[in-house]
Amino acid sequence: MKKLVYLTFSLCSIFTLAQEVTQESVKKIVSTLSSDEMKGRLLGTPENEQAAHYISKLFKENKLEYCVGDSYLVPFQYKGKTVYNVCGIKKGNSEKLLGFSGHLDHIGTNEDQGDNIYNGADDDASGITALVSISDYFKNKKPEFSMVFMAFNCEEAGLLGSKALADDAGMEKINKNLVALFNFEMIATESEFGKNAMFMTGNDFSDLDDLFNDAASGLIKIHPDPYAKEQLFYRSDNVSFAKKKVVAHSFSTADMSKIKHYHQVNDDFTIVDVENMTNMINNFAKTLEKLTPKNFAPKYNDKVKL
């Protein structure tokens, strides 16, 4: 009997661990997107399109459905050139959706001798890794909410990719049912609040963080924005959806008093805290499992100016 109980416990433990995102997976995604071969993923370059195709491949592996048409790649025009957002859907028990996003582009290279590639590991290969990993976590699950995963292009040139998806007629039903958008922006390093903690931009504008923290029950903590004076809520891709009345915030760990890699060539894989990233992603996903349309319906208040 003891052997049977032990075997059952062992199998359950293996199954539980198998559901979690691994450090190896996180490392592979963020290192691939921020590799020298990607040359900083500058909008309009072959490497930028290569990054979009790589994310599309990962969406397929994670069994997502297309958002628009017959591809995860959703084209839009930038200065007469076709560029791509990447979008995938995970069907849940409700038509109501939670959205997860980050931006795939970065700022390319410079003409200096030596290291001249702005790899963008933190900004924002880390955010893309988070949303892809959450889709991986739910690959063999059916959550209460449906989920939409969006890798925006053209953030660095003015949030144009997120605006394109927010305005895309083919996305109308998805955007109409979008309850909240979690936009991941620079989560590769430990926050000033310690490990397993992020901050939310525009935290005074809605109750999303309170509702999320209540559900998390200590698994992970979302803190108020320590840089509120910088108006970060209005300076990242979340605002494109906020303007559509979707409760949309950005989530980050960037300690601006310490980091020296923002838009610098040293923003490469060497600065990534893979262990902390992996723990945050898994604990974020575990919290998402607790959310339902009945217990999670965040609202804006009158402080937000859209």
Token pair belonging to 85: 């957002």
Q: In 10 A of CB 275, how many CB atoms?
A: 13
Model pTM? Answer: 0.94
Residue 67 CB neighbour total at 10 angstroms: 23
Query: Does residue 219 register a pLDDT over 60?
Result: yes
DSSP 125: I
Percent helix, strand and coil across the chain, each to the nearest 5 = 40, 20, 40
Q: Bridge-partner residues for 183, per DSSP?
A: 101, 250
Instruction: Look at residues 204, 190, 206 and name the one whose alpha carbon lies nearest to residue 276.
Output: 190
pLDDT at 299 over 80: yes
How many residues are given for the chain?
306
- Give the pLDDT confidence of 66-108 residue by residue, as tens digits: 999 999 999 999 999 999 999 999 999 999 999 999 999 999 9
Q: How far is CA 92 from CA 76, 144, 298, in A?
A: 28, 5, 19
For the chain, the average pLDDT equals: 94
Q: Is 293 exposed, middle or buried (0-12, 13-18, 19+ CB in 10 A)?
A: middle
| pLDDT score at 260 | 94
Sign of the CA dihedral with 23 first, then 27, 28, and 30 last: positive
Closest CA to 246 of 294, 144, 175: 175
pLDDT of 15: 41
The residue assigned the tokens 């559901």 is: 19
Question: How deeply is 1 buried, as exposed, middle or buried, from its count of CB atoms within 10 A (0-12, 13-18, 19+)?
Answer: exposed
In angstroms, what CA-CA distances link 150 with 66, 101, 113, 206, 295? 11, 5, 35, 22, 24
| Phi, psi (rounded to 5 degrees) for 268 | -125, -175
Question: Which pLDDT does position 55 carry in this prediction?
Answer: 99
pLDDT at 273: 98
Residues with Cβ within 8 Å of residue 51, at least 6 apart in sequence: 33, 38, 41, 104, 105
Query: Which helix (H) or strand (E) element contains residue 200?
Result: strand 197-200
